[in-house]
Structure 1
Amino acid sequence: MATNYSNPILEDQIDQFLCDENNLLIKLDNKKLIDQDMAIVVEQAIQKKQCTYLDLQDNEITSEGMPILALALSENSKLHTLYLHDNHLFDKGIYSLAQILTSNNHTLKILGLNSIGLTDVGAEDLAVMLQKNRTLTHLQLQANEIDNRGILYLAEALTKSNTTLEQLELAENKLVNDSSVDLLVEIIKHNRSLKVLNVRLCNISDSGKTKLQAATEANKDLQLML
């Protein structure tokens, strides 16, 4: 990335956000932000403003811009919500973020990764993160390209290690089909922290949905969205 890059408009936009009762919500969605803008976002929004909520969805950020954002999270104790939906991140972009959230961040609770081109490779990185992370409560992975192998990775983390995730959004992952039903049943039956599991508009048959619904009898606290 060019070191002489500047974006005065972005800096002005960030500067206009004001803190409200110790919470600072910075919404930079749909601003056509690019990778070079991430250094500005980190310096002005995360480090200077110490925002607690950062919305970067629907921009033009790629995997090249993610390492600097991920590194900032390793040194941050304020940000609890990060939305990255609808960026061109793909699996490569998630790797550095998952690495940081594995052990070097104890603040982020909500992570939005809908429609970023995530496949089983990225799902595995996130599953490894979930095995050790004890802070994240909401993980949004809707409308990606996760298939049954990705569900396997997530199921292993959620049935054997993770006890803090409360909401998992998997809706509109069209490659998830009946081969994942037994894995999802295991999550429903054996994970006691999860309160919402959303698998709407996946490729699960009516019989598969019936099996999932029946599994909730063993976990009355879980809201299953089919």
Structure 2
Amino acid sequence: DEGAQFLAEALVNNTVLRLLVLGGNHIETKGAQYLADSLRNKMKLTTLDLRDNKIGDQGALYVADALRDNMVLRVLNLSSNKISTTTANHLYECFQNKNKLGQFDLTGNEECDAVAMNASFQIRNSKSVHKLKLNQNRITNIGAAYIGDMLKENKVLKELHLDSNSITGQGAKHLADALSKTKTLTTLKLRGNEIGPSGTKYLIDAQQNRTVSPC
């Protein structure tokens, strides 16, 4: 966190910062607070990548609060930061009115179906998020059903990553049903799940006459 503090101090007077990538730097809650304070008035920041740190719930809230008035943020990566479902939901709420936010990554925060449920409710009517990553979040068929319902209504999302969750054939059926009703989604990733032959067939049938390719 001391390194994050030094960097934050150096950024205080920087008015042109657009991209900040600090993945894998062992930044914890305090470090996130230092960075958040320095980013509070950085209205030109378009990409913030804090993947693989340890900022936790409070650190994520510091970041969200600092970027609340940033209307040009395009990419936010908070994957693998020990963020809970409750905080993830708060993040969705904070950023749902951001006109430019297109990529949101919460991979590897080891949540559960609640994170899928929250994402489905908050992203459902988003007019900007075109890429959503929820890999490694222990999402089951229940979460897949919520996501499927969201896909039927969302008109913007193009990429959905659900790798390494706990989705089986029944969950794939929920997603396949949604795919048959939407023409927007072009990429669906389900590596590391257990969809089996039946789930694969559901998805193949759904993609007929479409451009979606299950990966």
Fold shared, TM-score > 0.5 on shorter chain: yes
Deviation at 1:46, TM superposition (A): 4.6
What residue is the counterpart of 1:197 in the other structure? 214
Aligned match for 1:84, one of 92, 99, 106: 106
Aligned match for 2:78, one of 56, 61, 78: 56
Instruction: Decide whether aligned partners of structure 1 residues 46 and 136 sit closer, same or farther in structure 2, where only a CA change above 3 A counts.
Output: farther
Question: Gapped runs of 5+ residues in structure 1?
Answer: 1-6, 199-226
What residue is the counterpart of 1:172 in the other structure? 192
1:177 counterpart letter in structure 2: G
The two structures have a TM-score, normalised by structure 2, of 0.78
Q: Distance in 1 between the 2:68 and 2:175 partners?
A: 29
Per-residue CA deviation, residues 113-133 of structure 1 (Å, 9 max, x unaligned), is 111111111111110000000
Question: Is residue 120 from structure 1 mapped to residue 141 from structure 2 by the alignment?
Answer: yes
Instruction: Decide whether aligned partners of structure 1 residues 127 and 152 sit closer, same or farther in structure 2, where only a CA change above 3 A counts.
Output: same
2:144–2:175 Cα contact (<8 Å) kept:
yes
Per-residue CA deviation, residues 164-197 of structure 1 (Å, 9 max, x unaligned), is 0010001111x2111223212212314x242x42
Q: Any idea what SS the aligned residue of 2:183 has?
A: coil
Instruction: Decide whether aligned partners of structure 1 residues 49 and 32 sit closer, same or farther in structure 2, where only a CA change above 3 A counts.
Output: farther
Percent identity for Structure 1 against Structure 2: 23
Q: Distance in 1 between the 2:35 and 2:168 partners?
A: 39
What residue is the counterpart of 1:70 in the other structure? 92
Per-residue CA deviation, residues 46-89 of structure 1 (Å, 9 max, x unaligned), is 53474210111111011121221121233221211011111022
Q: Distance in 2 between the 1:13 and 1:49 partners?
A: 18
2:90 counterpart letter in structure 1: I
Question: Is residue 109 from structure 1 mapped to residue 130 from structure 2 by the alignment?
Answer: yes
What residue is the counterpart of 1:205 in the other structure? none
Instruction: Decide whether aligned partners of structure 1 residues 126 and 18 sit closer, same or farther in structure 2, where only a CA change above 3 A counts.
Output: same
What residue is the counterpart of 2:117 in the other structure? 95
Question: Gapped runs of 5+ residues in structure 2?
Answer: 1-28
Which 4+ residue blocks in structure 1 deviate beyond 6 angstroms?
16-19
Q: Distance in 2 between the 1:95 and 1:87 partners?
A: 15
Matches for 1:144-183 after TM superposition, within 5 Å: 144-159=165-180, 161-173=181-193, 175-183=194-202
Deviation at 1:42, TM superposition (A): 1.5
Per-residue CA deviation, residues 5-27 of structure 1 (Å, 9 max, x unaligned), is xx5521333436998xx661101
What residue is the counterpart of 1:39 in the other structure? 61
Q: Distance in 1 between the 2:186 and 2:178 partners?
A: 13
CA RMSD of aligned residues (A): 2.3
Aligned match for 1:142, one of 163, 170, 174: 163
Q: Distance in 1 between the 2:53 and 2:129 partners?
A: 23
2:214 counterpart letter in structure 1: L
Deviation at 1:35, TM superposition (A): 1.8
Instruction: Decide whether aligned partners of structure 1 residues 55 and 18 sit closer, same or farther in structure 2, where only a CA change above 3 A counts.
Output: farther
Q: Distance in 1 between the 2:139 and 2:197 partners?
A: 20
2:101 counterpart letter in structure 1: L
Deviation at 1:148, TM superposition (A): 0.5
Aligned length: 186
1:122 counterpart letter in structure 2: G
